[in-house]
Amino acid sequence: MDKANVCKILKIVGFILVVLLLGIVVVVYKLEHHTEVIPTQCKIVLNTENKLEKLQQSCINIPNEKKFDCFPRGIPDQNSCNLRGCCWSPIADFNKQIPSCYYPANFRSYKVTNVTKSIEGETLLLSITRQSVYPKNVKTLLVQISFETKSRLHIIIKDYENERFEPPYPQIPATKKTPETTDYIVLVDDDNFGFAVIRKYTRTVIFDTRNIGGFIFSDQLLQLSALISSKYIYGLGEQTNNFLLNTNWEEIALFNHDTTPKEHTNLYGSHPFYIAMEEGGFSHGVFLLNSNAMDIILQPAPAITYRPIGGILDFYFFLGPSPDNVIQQYTEIIGRPFLPPYWSLGFHLCRWGLKSLKDTMDLWERNRDAGIPFDVIWNDIDYMDNRNDFTISPNFTGLGDFVHQLHNIGMKYVIILDPGIASKLPSNTYPAYDEGIKQNIFIQNSSGLALEGIIWNYPKGTVFPDFTNPRTTSYWLQMLTKLYKEFQYDGLWLDMNEISNFVNGSIYGCDDNVLDNPPYLPKIHGERLNYLTLCMSAKHYIGFHYDVHNLYAFAESMVTNSALSLIRKKRPFVLSRATSPGIGHYAAHWTGDVLSTWDAMKHSVGDIISFNMFGIPMVGADICGYTGNTTKELCQRWFQLGAFYSFSRSHNSIKANDQDATAFGEEFILSTKKALEMRYRFLPYLYTLFWKANQYGESVIRPLFFEFPKDENTYTQNTQFLWGPGLLIIPVLQEKVISITSYFPQSIWFDAYTLESYESNGTYITISAPLDKIPLFLRAGYIIPYQEPSQTVEKSRKNPFGLYVTLNDTLQATGTMYWDDGDTVLSFSDQQYNLLEFNYNGTLMKSSVLTWNYETTMTLDTIYVMGLSNKFSQIFINGQNHSYFNYDSELKVG
């Protein structure tokens, strides 16, 4: 071969090499653009026509609703999609939600290599068969399937060789023994790892990960998808959405964050728990115990995908079978809700912008003078000196005397605390900072120094107590005790504990690291993990902020709850903005900085129901809204609704106009008194519901389907709710409406004002709702205790009791009442309480005393019996004939 031909061949080879190199450069550029790295073997595997042909065959006949996204971040094209081993099928612009790049059938990433079975469950070892595009894939996984109780299944998937972060809160109680039978069956696919959870009785497959691609277990992304049994799914908070979740490609990000509530935005709490309704009225719940930031995607199959960016996959399945059974089973592991002090069930009055003690007293006095029932006055950060914790502004001189005055008339006082300690004051002038530095209890930056951010403190500079550090418990108690000596507050309001920060990460920014810049970023507000919070590389006693962020409020609430018990020697009341699973054992919740709009008021109904499902039954929204100026009609309707939040408080921003009940005139005052007096009338019933929640995990506020699970019409109702099983609340949620058409499930319903009856077979009924009234209905079959209302809880507790007896079509009714002093920490465990059970069987009304250890005078005054077919001829009480009774033949009430 001559020299010229050799040169030509070399030029051709060189040209080919250049083209290949350019192609590689283009691919690399695209991969970098998507901030992901494709493992080499993926390229090699898919470089043969045979493999491509098999891939194409496995992509055929996958319906749109079962396409699981293979390229959740970035802009895919066919080449980058195929390099992942996934299917490419572009979707028309009008339906961009359906993935263009999706997993093929039988996409395998792990296989089962070992199985050990026992009566307690199964243990599996998995080996990786395909690397994901994310760094540091875990090669060997351990799967533990535990049959914990008859109705509870526990499945853990974790790294076999290395420990990964697992939330220390809530502390899950150990299972005592393996059940003899279970309500579920678990099937495992050995070859291509997946599992299915099946309800044994109905054979309903409630959660099925088999033959679904995309199972990933890498260092900073875990992904698992499953087909689920129902489109009727609720929970997965906290976001502003409809109570019934949207399964049409809905993406829900969970990462505690301080922002004005709006749709498609992660808010103050993270609760990866849902409850679903199956055919036939059965219900189940699924809980992922994982504290890391995550995305959860719902799609129309119906199906669900979890994408946490750390920790392990730790699933609990609750088989119910009723919705309330599911909540009982869930709170059994995360912790039962706390029993609130009785005074906290009254109405609370607050606003930001009460700049002095005089302003506070003026608000208090004008509402007292107007006759508004209320029990608690609050102060926001105005009471602090330069907005610094554990200080008192000179404008609040005499605060201790005012609180003493409140206590003398049976009222209470609550203050706000932020989890931020001023860091820029002169040395030895601010004990909260000096002691914290001395005891080394602040969250640290990557250099081991106290991380500094900015919140309300002045001068600007803030450090944050690490409540996971055992030393912080004594520090916090020390600071709160010192403040209590200044004035005897009754409860504590924990704000800004997401943690919220006015700068990203710290005043010095954050180091460039994989925690603050993970390879996969959930769809969170601000598009960076440290957006208006701390650096993810910040150090807590138990780990990095990356893992601990969503647990901060839990730890703070737990420590604060304990400190309050020790300081006051009474039942603690703690209110927390940020939440996570199990915090309801220590704190109540309000729904944050909601807008003063009709839409925000409507969403609050779904919010309070959802948090009852999350095990936080004491919850409410700021009545009339927090952000912006309300209108008179909106505020009037919101006061009526707020009177039936389980936590009832009016509060608004410093920038907004006054919106307490006295701000809108005499008619408004009368309307508000009417609603709040109805609340106070039913407080014995509400308190009993809280006791049942504390002891048995029953929900306090319920959606209709909790009580009517076989009625599918109730599954979509999100504008009305129940207190327990017996009291239906129908708020007016639209402007200029004086009648409302609402769904009444099959029962007899009695108007709580007039006692008029409405019999429904599951129909919509139009009812009157004048501007001064919120419709309330008593459900047949229940006996509900009540008490004549006074202006405060303390006075109301001294009034006579009564009973509403609402007979069903078989003339039956039952009820319970729990009663104690309302403030002792261990009143139930020490058996210092009274428990009564009521029963009506058609001719005999019986009251049974189950426990009577709390010495008090309880006078029964009036019993209303509704649904009577005939007038009483005689009434005997304790064997004695009584003639003092009335009968209304038209209402059939005696």
The residue count for the chain: 894
Three-state secondary structure call for residue 124: strand
pLDDT confidence of residue 881? 74
Strands 110-118 and 801-806: unpaired
HEC profile of 708-777: CCCCHHHHHCCCCEEECCCEEECCCCCCCCCEEEEEECCEEEEECCCCCEEEECCEEEEEECCCCCCCEE
Model confidence pLDDT, tens digit, residues 296-349: 999 999 999 999 999 999 999 999 999 999 999 999 999 999 999 999 999 999
CATH code given to domain 110-334 = 2.60.40.1760
Helix (H) or strand (E) holding 251: strand 250-254
Give the model confidence (pLDDT) of 348-372 as tens digits: 999 999 999 999 999 999 999 999 9
d(CA 838, CA 859): 15
More confident residue, 721 or 41: 721
Largest alpha-carbon pair distance within the chain?
A: 130
Q: What is the pLDDT of residue 282?
A: 98
- 598: which DSSP letter? H
What's the rounded mean pLDDT across residues 377-398?
98
At position 538, the amino acid (one-letter code) is A
String of b and e for 204-237 (b: at least 16 CB within 10 Å)? bbbbbbeebbbbbbbbbbbbbbbbbbbbbbbbbb
Q: Which CATH class is domain 702-882?
A: mainly beta
Higher pLDDT, 546 or 860: 546
Secondary structure element (H or E) that encloses residue 818, with its range: strand 813-819
Give pLDDT, residue 883.
Answer: 65
DSSP three-state, residue 566:
helix
The rounded distance, in Å, linking the Cα atoms of 143 and 157 is 5
Q: List the one residue out of 17, 36, 16, 15 whose CA is nearest residue 517.
A: 36
pLDDT value, residue 56: 72
Checking if the pLDDT of 38 tops 60, the result is no
Handedness of CA 51, 54, 60, 62 (dihedral sign): negative
Write down the pLDDT at residue 29. Answer: 32
- Whether the per-residue pLDDT at 31 is higher than 60: the answer is no
> What number of other Cβ atoms are within 10 A of residue 200's Cβ?
12
Determine the pLDDT at residue 44: 27
Query: Within 13 Å and on the Cβ side, how many CA atoms surround 390?
Result: 22
**Which of 418, 498, 556, 707 is the catalytic position?**
498
User: Quick check: pTM over 0.85?
Assistant: yes
Give the CA radius of gyration of the chain.
30
How many other C-beta atoms lie within 10 A of the C-beta of residue 2? 7
For the ranges 53-62, 88-97, 444-453, the maximum mean pLDDT occurs at 444-453
| DSSP structure string for 601-652 | HHHHHHHHHHHHHTT--SEE--BT-SBS---HHHHHHHHHHHTTSSS-EE--
Phi, psi dihedral angles at 474 (to 5 degrees): -75, -35
Mean pLDDT of the chain: 93
Return the percentage of the chain with pLDDT > 70, whole number.
93
Residues 6+ apart with CB under 8 A from 656: 596, 626, 627, 628, 629, 630
CB 505 within 8 A of CB 534: yes
Residue-wise pLDDT for 792-808, tens only, equals 999 999 999 999 999 99
Question: Is 498 a catalytic site residue?
Answer: yes
Domain ranges in the chain are 1-30, 110-334, 702-882
471-499 per-position pLDDT tens digit: 999 999 999 999 999 999 999 999 999 99
pLDDT confidence band for 876 (50 / 70 / 90): confident
Q: What is the pLDDT of residue 51?
A: 62
| Cβ partners under 8 Å of residue 618, min gap 6 | 337, 338, 340, 344, 584, 588, 589, 646, 647, 690, 700
Domains 110-334 and 702-882 share a fold: yes
pLDDT at 549 over 60: yes
> How does residue 873 score in pLDDT terms, banded at 50, 70 and 90?
low
Beta bridge partners of 861: none
Long-range residue pairs from 117-124, CB within 8 A, at least 24 positions apart, any chain: 119/147, 119/178, 120/146, 120/147, 120/178, 121/145, 121/146, 121/147, 121/186, 122/186, 122/188, 124/188, 124/193
Counting beta carbons within 10 angstroms of the beta carbon of residue 342, is it exposed (0 to 12), middle (13 to 18) or buried (19 or more)? buried
**Chain centroid offset of residue 24 CA:** 48
Note the pLDDT of residue 624.
Answer: 98
Q: Which alpha helices (DSSP H) does 370-469 contain, by range?
A: 399-408, 431-439
Write down the residue that tokens 């700049």 correspond to. Answer: 355
Does the structure show a pLDDT above 80 at 832? yes
Give the tens place of pLDDT for each residue, 572-583.
999 999 999 999
Both tokens assigned to 599: 């839409």
Tell me if residue 440 falls in helix, strand or coil.
coil
Return the pLDDT at 30. Answer: 35
- Spatial CA neighbour of 289 closest among 309, 314, 255, 264: 314
Query: What are the pLDDT digits (tens) for 164-186?
Result: 999 999 999 988 889 999 999 99
Give the tokens for residue 173.
């109680």
Flag whether pLDDT at 35 surpasses 80: no
pLDDT of residue 1: 46
Which one of the listed residues 332, 495, 622, 698 is annotated catalytic? 495
Q: What is the mean pLDDT of residues 804-821?
A: 96
Cβ atoms of residues 112 and 66 within 8 Å: no
CA distance 49 to 57: 12
Q: What is the mean pLDDT of residues 416-427?
A: 97
Integer Cα distance of 247 and 298 in angstroms:
5
One-character DSSP codes across 456-498? S-SSS-EE-B-TTSHHHHHHHHHHHHHHHHHS---EEEE-STT
Q: Report the candidate in 508, 505, 479 with the shortest Cα–Cα distance to residue 421.
A: 479
Alpha carbon distance 359, 369 (integer Å): 15
| Cβ neighbours around 404 below 10 Å, total | 12
Would the pLDDT of 25 be above 70?
no
Question: pLDDT tens digits for 757-791?
Answer: 999 999 999 999 999 999 999 999 999 999 999 99
Q: How confident is the model at residue 192 (pLDDT cuts 50, 70, 90)?
A: confident
Residues pairing with 318 in the sheet: 152, 285
Active site residue 65: no
Strands annotated E in 482-590: 491-494, 539-540, 543-544, 574-576, 588-590
Q: What is the reported pLDDT for 894?
A: 80
CB 105 within 8 A of CB 58: yes
- The SS3 assignment for 257 reads coil
pLDDT above 90 coverage of the chain, percent: 87
Distance of CA 503 to the CA centre of its chain: 26
Answer yes or no: is pLDDT of 844 > 90: no
Distance separating alpha carbons of residues 577 and 496, to the nearest angstrom: 7
Q: Which residues contact 285 (CB under 8 A, 6 or more apart)?
A: 235, 273, 274, 275, 276, 317, 318, 320, 326, 327, 329, 330
pLDDT for res 870: 78
